Amino acid sequence: MAPSSSDQNGDAQTDQAGPSSHRPQAINGDASIGTVLVHGTWTQSDIVAGALDSGGNGFGRNDALITPNDARAIAKIDSVTIVGAGTGDTVVGDYFGIVAEQIGKLSVGGAKFVLTTAKDNAEIDIGNHNFAYLEVV
């Protein structure tokens, strides 16, 4: 089955900001996402494939690969392009993320992030420190 893809006009913002326990949780450790293109900004939202928020603090920090899973299947996000700015929120200790076992390409606000064959993890929202990308182990 081909991974799903998304092309979104305008801005993206979740209506579920706040305590991360209220957010939906992914349940498939082998799921993949294709290409995600957001023409506007990205605020208080997650893109997640195969990972769970093990820290209970939102995605992007201390997350883990869902188990059991098939070791041969990589929970991958092929490509994410957010044309506008990407931000989390200003609540301390509440995080948002782009999280998968593997992320192919990532570009936010015109900045292209360097992704290696190792597990990559870095802040996207440098100002607020609560929007990051993370490749889970």
Residue 57 binds Ca ion (CB under 5 A): yes
Residue 30 binds Ca ion (CB under 5 A): no
Q: How many residues does the chain have?
A: 137
How far apart CA 135 and CA 137 sit, in angstroms, is 7
Of 8 and 128, nearer to Ca ion (C-beta) is 128
Least distance in angstroms from the C-beta of 66 to Ca ion? 13
Residue 63 binds Ca ion (CB under 5 A): yes
How far apart CA 84 and CA 42 sit, in angstroms, is 7
Which has the closest alpha carbon to 44: 86, 107, 81? Answer: 86
Of 10 and 65, nearer to Ca ion (C-beta) is 65
Q: Which amino acid is at 23?
A: R
Report yes or no: 99 and 59 within 8 Å, Cβ to Cβ. yes
Pick out residues in 34-53 that bind Ca ion (CB under 5 A): 53
Residue 61 binds Ca ion (CB under 5 A): yes
Query: Which residues sit at the interface with Ca ion, rule CB under 5 A?
Result: 53, 55, 57, 61-63, 115, 120, 135
